[in-house]
Structure 1
Amino acid sequence: MGHTPTILAKFENFLKQNNLTLAQFSEHSGVHQRTLNNWITKHRPVAIHQLDRITLAMGLPEGFFYELYIDNYIIERSPDWRRIEPLLFRCAELDKLHAIQLVVAHIMDNLLYSPKLFDAAEKLFAQGQRNAALLLYEGIAEGEKYQHSERLAICQYRLFTIQVGNDQNRNLKAATRFEPFVERLDEIDQLDALKDLANVYRSLHEWDMLYETAQKMRYKAEICYSMKQRQKKQKSEESYMRLSRPMFVYITYADLLCASVCEAQGNYQQALQFTYAYADLDWVIETDEETRHWINLFEHWAVGNVFVNKLLSGDTSVLPEYVEYIVATSITNEDEKLSKLLNIIIAANRYAIDVDDVLLRFEVEFNSFDPASTDMYTHQVVPEHITLFKYELAKYYLNRGSYSDGFKYLLDVLSKSLTINKEAFFIRCIRLFEKFKTFADVKAHMKYESLVSEGQRERSFYYW
């Protein structure tokens, strides 16, 4: 069995090949000669920033020696956090994720490193280095899986946040893994965790889970809001500042979510009752600018959602007023226009309404939806709303004989359903295409067959 190569051996070989003295290399690299001498004669490890200078002076890529550094000075010696932490951050900067995995796997044999690794993970998470932070959180969660700690719960929350993306199956798995850990979080942190969970359940159309999560969030938020009014200590105020929203928002947002569940289940009268509840905010005590901003938002949403529930229940007389409402509010909230237009096209398909003039009026907008927000709700719900809108649009055009437009949007949705791993969309698109396939041209047929084959091969989507 061969010996593990060392950075020092490679360095000494470099000096010989280039006929350099330590003094010459020191001047060239900027690393003190005494440091280099101690490294060679006393085998005293160099710091990571010194290794970076040595690597650069040897004409090698950044991070070239990191895996060897881990072997030579972390795995083969007693781990020293003063060397480990800077190494982790440099590996994150250079996207050397395998090196991070090696470090985490080694040091987490000793749970004493867990708090330090957690602090490093939180710093990386705050800096936006999410791929690197993910590896640290996974290491901590695995090491502490038998512990009943708040740190483990926070790790699971971070893992959930990082893993949520466009793949809906993966999102469901992430939500399922995280949900049991919510109660272990601090009572304040639970509110944002429940909000984020609810947004994922909403995007997945898991209506029962959404309703249950929203009600739980409302109950906890009401208790916290009541306690906040009674407590005047600065310490409690600081804990509330961790929230991403003002405290009252979690109560009213829960009502909004419950209204969306009722709407999705066709219970429009109950949806209206929840809507009227979050529109009535006279009980909110705070009067600061941020509070006023959120109150105005909920009042604005309530007006629109009253129109929506009446329209979707069959009261088509509100359509002209609803369209004018969309026009009046779209300047300040482009993202929200998407869901409003989606409601119109759903109603049009449900009640055979001619909305050609509405579509023409908003043609530019619905062909260029690209919401800029990166919050979890927008990241989850809006992409699906875009896909659902195009599906309903395809259905509308096909039912009205506009086959070219209908198949264009339908095939776009079929393709998108593979990207987001949304089997329900995939199956619905296939059924709609099969219903109108006699009107499809050769090009549409070819693209359809190609997408169906890809779905069956790569995603195991079966529809027969």
Structure 2
Amino acid sequence: MDQRTIRAELEEYLKRNGITINQFAETSGVNSGTLSSIINGNRPISMLQLDRITAGMGLTEGRFYDLYVDECFNLPVLNWRRLRPLIYRSAELDKLDCIERVVGMMMDNLSYATALFDTAEDLFKQGNRKAAALLYESVAEGEKYQHSERLALCQYRLFNIALCDDQEVNLRAAVQFESYVDRLDEADQLDALKDLANIYYALRRWDKVEKFAQEMGYKAEIQYKHRYEHLKKVEALKDPTMPLFAYISYSHVLCSAAYGERKDYDKALQYVSLYSEFSWIKEESQEAKQLVSRFEGWAEANTFLYRLMKGDVKVLPEYVLYISQRKDEILPALFKILQAANCYKFNVDDILTRFAQEIVMYRDEQGKVGTYNPQVIEDRYTHFMAELAYYYLVKGEYDIGLKYLLDSLEYSVKIYSETCIIKCVGMFEQFRHTASLEAQGEYQNLISEVQRRNEKKNGFIVGYV
């Protein structure tokens, strides 16, 4: 059986519909002489011509891309000038199977790795992440034994592309990427360490947060000294995405948060003091000034916070006044205020009433407000609702408490937060006797979803119901 070709498809279409080359030239916008040369096999088809021919035949975009791949690879020599537009158009049309075929055959020859990597970088910047991932995966597979910086950068991009609202997926992506960080360019190392620390923060892996935060701070300090303090200034080949001082200060922010979550509030306050004063920094850009202001704000807020978490309730009015003037800080602060209230058994009804509108907005937008890392925000949302639920349940306001509990459990299942699922299950069982039949049915449905996902991964939770 003869293999179909684009030329044969076109020729058959013209004969079947009784259309001349000149008539089709007017319909498609492709020169009649060019069409004649294509049909006679004397001229290769460009991507622009292929798309115009396809439209002229009244077919869907990309209809002949698979045939185009076959024709490109049947030529004696691969023509990158033809294949590159094919990859871009396939990315635009989400024809990932076509891209996969192209890169799979191209990487039989490792000399194309650079071209594919550059194209992947371009697609990544354009936001075409699925298509970029196929190229990064192909290049990484071709260079897996070379320990190159390009291999590490491929893995970094794949790590970022993999991140989503499923904590299990994010954990696998972080673990897979960790070992490649040291192979990156110095500037990329700082951003990679920051990204890893943020993901482990969302995963509540505090030892990992501290490890990567400290490594980021250490590397940033070395680069800072080379750039600003050595007699002979060293110009960096590539700048990280933030001013260097920000990586040093952000490492202290992350370490203070890690110690705060471990309930070592004195140590957390020590780290807060390290990002509260900035007379030492050399950067003078507008971005640097804005970041200094942000760090100083965090330092002030976290000083109130850790004093409160130590049981110093007298600081609460100052803390509430502070956050009321800073919209982005309201919900993160309310989460901690609720934690303290539930721990030390004090009443915060007036505070919850004061910020009732913000809480409703937080629920409606599923916590996606503010300037924090998205995965951190999603994790914080689930735990915020759990703390709110516990506060009302302990007070005996069971209907509203169970509503918040089921909200927390639903979102915990969505992002697959194991710690919050366990917390919600324990809480529901403690207060099951107060739940309506409707609430119990909703709970049962959510747990069934947990068990379905649990079976897929040979689970960690059994016998909830």
TM range (shorter): over 0.9
> Equivalent residue for 1:135?
134
Closer/same/farther in 2, CA of residues 440 and 292 from structure 1, 3 Å limit: same
Deviations 1:158-209 (A, max 9, x none): 0011111111111111111111111111111110111111100111111111
Closer/same/farther in 2, CA of residues 248 and 352 from structure 1, 3 Å limit: same
1:25 Cα deviation from its structure 2 partner: 1.3
Deviations 1:11-70 (A, max 9, x none): 111000111122221122111222222222235320011000000000001111111111
Contact 1:255 / 1:278 at 8 angstroms: preserved in 2? yes
Deviations 1:297-354 (A, max 9, x none): 1111000001111111111111111111111222xxx2x3221111101001111111
Tell whether 2:249 aligns with 1:256.
no
Match of 2:357 among 358, 364, 370: 364
Distance, in Å, in 2 between the alignment partners of 1:269 and 1:423 is 29
> Equivalent residue for 2:341?
348
| AA in 2 matched with 1:279 | S
Closer/same/farther in 2, CA of residues 75 and 104 from structure 1, 3 Å limit: farther
Distance, in Å, in 1 between the alignment partners of 2:384 and 2:41 is 69
3-state secondary structure, aligned to 1:239 = coil
Closer/same/farther in 2, CA of residues 231 and 98 from structure 1, 3 Å limit: farther
Closer/same/farther in 2, CA of residues 162 and 79 from structure 1, 3 Å limit: same
Deviations 1:396-446 (A, max 9, x none): 111111111111111111111221011221121111000000000111011
Tell whether 2:438 aligns with 1:429.
no
> Equivalent residue for 1:307?
304
CA RMSD in angstroms, aligned pairs only: 1.8
> Equivalent residue for 2:172?
173
Distance, in Å, in 2 between the alignment partners of 1:198 and 1:264 is 14
Distance, in Å, in 2 between the alignment partners of 1:232 and 1:246 is 20
Closer/same/farther in 2, CA of residues 90 and 279 from structure 1, 3 Å limit: same
Contact 2:116 / 2:135 at 8 angstroms: preserved in 1? yes
1:236 Cα deviation from its structure 2 partner: 2.2
1:287 Cα deviation from its structure 2 partner: 2.5
Distance, in Å, in 1 between the alignment partners of 2:454 and 2:228 is 52
Match of 1:400 among 391, 395, 401: 395
Contact 1:256 / 1:274 at 8 angstroms: preserved in 2? yes
1:110 Cα deviation from its structure 2 partner: 0.8
3-state secondary structure, aligned to 1:236 = coil
| AA in 1 matched with 2:73 | I
> Equivalent residue for 1:16?
15
Distance, in Å, in 2 between the alignment partners of 1:441 and 1:338 is 29
Distance, in Å, in 2 between the alignment partners of 1:66 and 1:374 is 43
1:230 Cα deviation from its structure 2 partner: 4.8
Distance, in Å, in 2 between the alignment partners of 1:80 and 1:200 is 41
Report how many residues are paired. Answer: 456
Structure 1 unaligned blocks of 5 or more: none
TM-score normalized by the length of structure 2: 0.94
Distance, in Å, in 2 between the alignment partners of 1:67 and 1:230 is 58
> Equivalent residue for 1:216?
215
3-state secondary structure, aligned to 1:433 = helix
> Equivalent residue for 1:78?
77
Contact 2:227 / 2:233 at 8 angstroms: preserved in 1? no
Structure 2 unaligned blocks of 5 or more: none
TM-score normalized by the length of structure 1: 0.95
Match of 2:262 among 260, 265, 275: 265
3-state secondary structure, aligned to 1:64 = coil
Closer/same/farther in 2, CA of residues 453 and 75 from structure 1, 3 Å limit: farther
1:237 Cα deviation from its structure 2 partner: 5.3
Tell whether 2:202 aligns with 1:203.
yes
| AA in 1 matched with 2:300 | V
Distance, in Å, in 2 between the alignment partners of 1:349 and 1:248 is 37
> Equivalent residue for 1:385?
380
> Equivalent residue for 2:29?
30
Contact 1:166 / 1:420 at 8 angstroms: preserved in 2? yes
Distance, in Å, in 2 between the alignment partners of 1:288 and 1:237 is 17
Deviations 1:94-125 (A, max 9, x none): 11111111111111111111000001011111
Deviations 1:269-300 (A, max 9, x none): 00000000111211112233221111111111
Contact 1:397 / 1:406 at 8 angstroms: preserved in 2? yes
> Equivalent residue for 2:404?
409
Distance, in Å, in 1 between the alignment partners of 2:10 and 2:230 is 63
